[in-house]
Structure 1
Amino acid sequence: MTGRQGVSGDDSGRRPRGRPSASSRAEIERAAIRLFLAHGYADATVAMIAGASGVSRTTFFRYYHSKAEIIWAAFDRHTQHLHMLLEADPGTEPAMTVVRRCVVEALRDSADDEGIWMKRFQILDSSPDLRSEESAHWISWAAAIAEHVARRTATDPRSVVPQSIGGAVQAAFLAVLRSWIAVPAPSAALLPELDEELVPLCDLFQGWLDGRNGNSTSLGST
């Protein structure tokens, strides 16, 4: 984006119509994250975000339908990436080894050098105004795990075993993220800790799956 506009300005003549630039979208996100942390999600308005990022309200809504989308769009991209990683599993490793590896890899791909990934999590985990939407997004995250387990065990993803494992891994993932909120400069260097925390849980569930399926999920059978 060339040039900046105030909250009440109209920058429609400064940039051709079409897909918004990625750099401007990132600028709005960074400004919003700063304001959410400084003032609270509820008190940081779209006008404040637009002003801090140097665009008009009209331009803001070209990038985001609401301020909540600034938080959830990135979360949903992360979840979609986790789904893709798990769906690409060729079935040559134990099912829960794949889960652990993909959960860590998806978060590694979401992490950024500025620590926005953890700031975003801090906001979504602590803002009452986002609580009504939070459950649906986390259910989708857990569903990625459940669907993978169901594929590997030839069961319905809505059945007890896949749902139990999806929910438990999601709870462990959430607990680890919460433990990182107080870390001064969270980075991808924390990821081995996530992997370490997931090992005993995933090993426990792998034993459960093996006992139910005659070791097929360890041997790579789908």
Structure 2
Amino acid sequence: MEHGAVLLVDDEQGLLDMVSFTLRKYGIETILTATTAQQAMEILLKRDISLIVLDIMLPDGDGFNVCEQMREVTEAPILFLTAKNQDIDKIKGFELGADDYITKPFNPTEVAARVQVHLKRMRHIQFRPVYDFGYFSVNKKSGQVFVEGMEIPCAPMEFLLLTFLCEHANLIFTASELYEKVWKPYQGGDEKTVVIHISRLRKKIEPDPKNPRYLVNVKGLGYKLVRGEGKTR
């Protein structure tokens, strides 16, 4: 699977230069930059973008609103890179469709490592099998999720979390274990990220999200995806 460019969106040119330089050291050659929300959306609509690194505080718009607009036209992973480090900001970002959240000040090497992880996972999606749970199914080869035969949109990290759970159906994982397995690299406190994504997935794959049948919480132990009569193929 060929991938397009990485889009960096931040109003600090020095930061864009530093992150671009580091990404190229990691072998990521096609990098586009934007310093405003308008520039970012124009690039996104014209170019093939595989991943977006997005600041929240932009001169002509709120990064949260930009993220929401981006989700209407792309399923590429979106990584927030921002000085806003409150839990409420992280939660809002994930609820709007972000896949990762990195706070300033940051180590550019960590940003590059996270970008590589997200890109690598997206490349491997096409080589994975199909999981059928009856009410819903996951086609890992095409990157699609179907509920009662109807395709539903999933953000990249929602899809990767769901496919990981499909691969390990009926096994229990704590929130921190899921973060370590699916997101990487693990940082303490990122369990909230998992909880938010679990909630979003339930709204998509459960007949009754408030009383989950498939994606269940085992009190005191963690989460598991329950396999009934479905099958893998």
TM-score tier by shorter-chain length is: under 0.3
> Does 1 or 2 have the higher relative contact order (CA < 8 Å, sep 6+)?
1
Larger Rg: 1
TM-score, normalization by structure 2: 0.26
Q: Which has the higher helix share?
A: 1
Q: Which has the higher strand share?
A: 2
TM-score, normalization by structure 1: 0.27
